């Protein structure tokens, strides 16, 4: 299916990424079916979208009169059957292969054959996910960045099985959202996490080895390299558990010891110091 034929999009999962993805599609004029397993997760997702739209209104990026129309394009659903009408689907359910397998299987069974199924996974191989479906050539990675409404990049990841038509339709669709798609082949961590996570990991080693405090490491990267956020501040934002999990994916997938997770990161995770979400990581919140 070409990007011009896509009118209705389904987003599976209304969490951090799912509500952001639904937001940008609805903002770009698409009808969006937002599916989660329980009404309370949908309510939370819609509430976040409403607050983020208010923020855009405050910044003058969206007319106040438009907000109602954007929200009206969102159709929450707990029943997977609602997803059958979609022309394009983005999966943003938790990063667990068993959950992805179940959700992709359910969607695959009810979608029209020509519909493209995209995954927002940050670390599972697209080639593996494509192989779980009966439409591997119509499977693609669409890796949005958090927070989705603000971040311009979408890594469009080609699984081994992805057809040229699927790939170009997805690149085109990302542009219609006002995003900048970047073409990447399937490999552990893609480009974003392949480059970012070793940077964060090395920053953690600097702290562990007493090279500098977290504040100093972050100051060097912000003031010296013009990064808007220091790597350790960013790690706290992402979640230290997520960082360790992604390092394991790189380590396992690429087999190079340079990707081993920093012991200090692992220790923090063991202590329950996961970053912002647990009010303590490299910093206290």
Ligand X SMILES: NC(=O)c1ccc[n+]([C@@H]2O[C@H](COP(=O)([O-])OP(=O)(O)OC[C@H]3O[C@@H](n4cnc5c(N)ncnc54)[C@H](O)[C@@H]3O)[C@@H](O)[C@H]2O)c1
Which residues are annotated as catalytic? 122, 143, 155, 193
Please give the residue whose beta carbon sits closest to ligand X in the complex: 15
Q: Does residue 184 sit in helix, strand or coil?
A: strand
Measured at the alpha carbon of residue 242, what is the angle toward residues 130 and 230, in degrees to the nearest 5? Answer: 120
Our CB check for ligand X shows the closer of 62 and 124 to be 124
CA dihedral 120, 123, 129, 131 (to 10 degrees): 140
Residue 212 sits in the site that holds ligand X (CB under 6 A): no
Rule CB under 6 A: choose which of 37, 151, 182, 264 binds ligand X: 37
Question: What's the alpha-carbon Rg for the chain, to the nearest Å?
Answer: 19
Which residues, 47 to 66, sit near ligand X by CB under 6 A? none
| List 8, 9, 10, 13, residue binding ligand X (CB under 6 A) | 13
For ligand X, which is the closer residue by CB, 102 or 270?
A: 102
Q: How far is the CB of 65 from ligand X (least distance, A)?
A: 30
What is the smallest separation between the CB atom of 146 and ligand X, expressed in angstroms? 3
* Region label for 279, one of left (φ > 0), alpha (ψ between -120 and 50) or beta (otherwise): left
CA dist., res. 190 & res. 192, Å (int) = 6
The residue (of 203 and 238) whose beta carbon lies closer to ligand X is 238
Question: How far apart, in whole angstroms, are the C-alpha atoms of residue 9 and residue 73?
Answer: 10
Per-residue buried b or exposed e for 155-194, using 16+ beta carbons within 10 Å of the residue's own CB: bbbbbebbbeebbebbbebbeebebebbebebebbbbbbb
Taking CB under 6 A as the criterion, the residue among 6, 9, 10, 18 binding ligand X is 18
Q: CB 282: neighbour CB atoms within 10 A?
A: 26
Total of residues contacting ligand X (CB under 6 A): 22
Q: Which of 27, 35, 158, 266 binds ligand X (CB under 6 A)?
A: 35
Closest to ligand X by CB, 143 or 266? 143
| Shortest distance in whole angstroms from residue 269 CB to ligand X | 16
Angstrom distance (rounded) from CA 120 to CA 13: 10
Return the residues of window 224-253 that contact ligand X according to CB under 6 A. Answer: 238
Residue matched to tokens 């034929």: 5
Element holding 101 (H helix, E strand): helix 97-110
Angle between helices 16-27 and 39-58 (to 10 degrees): 50
Query: Shortest distance, CB of residue 18 to ligand X, whole angstroms?
Result: 5
Using CB under 6 A as the binding rule, whether residue 12 contacts ligand X is answered as yes
Q: Select the span of 8-16, 46-54, 60-68, 152-160 touching ligand X (CB under 6 A).
A: 8-16
The site string for ligand X over 83-122 (x = CB under 6 A, - otherwise) reads ---------xxxx---x---x----------------xxx
| Smaller CB separation from ligand X, 57 or 198 | 198
Interacting residues toward ligand X by CB under 6 A: 12-18, 35-37, 41, 92-95, 99, 103, 120-122, 146, 238
């Amino acid at each position: 299916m070409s990007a011009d034929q896509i009118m209705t999009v389904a987003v599976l999962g209304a969490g951090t990424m799912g509500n952001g993805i639904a937001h940008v599609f609805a903002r770009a004029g698409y009808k969006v079916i937002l599916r989660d397993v329980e009404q309370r997760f949908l309510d939370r997702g819609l509430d976040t979208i409403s607050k983020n739209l208010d923020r855009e209104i405050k910044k003058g990026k969206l007319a106040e009169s438009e907000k109602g129309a954007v929200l009206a394009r969102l159709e929450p659903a707990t029943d997977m059957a609602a997803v059958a009408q979609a022309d394009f689907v983005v999966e943003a359910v938790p990063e667990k292969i068993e959950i992805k397998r179940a959700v992709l299987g359910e969607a695959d069974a009810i979608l029209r054959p020509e519909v493209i199924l995209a995954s927002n996974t940050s670390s599972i191989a697209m080639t593996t996910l494509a192989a779980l479906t009966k439409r591997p050539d119509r499977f693609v990675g669409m890796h949005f960045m958090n927070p989705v409404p603000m971040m311009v990049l979408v890594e469009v990841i080609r699984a081994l099985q992805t057809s040229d038509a699927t790939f170009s339709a997805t690149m085109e669709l990302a542009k219609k959202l006002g995003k900048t798609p970047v073409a990447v082949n399937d490999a552990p961590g893609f480009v974003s996490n392949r480059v970012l996570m070793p940077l964060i990991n090395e920053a953690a080693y600097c702290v562990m080895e007493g090279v500098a405090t977290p504040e100093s490491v972050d100051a060097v990267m912000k003031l010296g390299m013009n990064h808007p956020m220091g790597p350790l501040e960013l790690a706290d934002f992402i979640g230290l558990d997520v960082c360790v999990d992604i390092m394991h994916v790189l380590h396992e997938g690429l087999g190079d010891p340079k990707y081993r997770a920093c012991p200090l990161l692992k220790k923090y995770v063991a202590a329950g110091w996961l970053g912002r979400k647990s009010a303590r990581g490299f910093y206290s919140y």
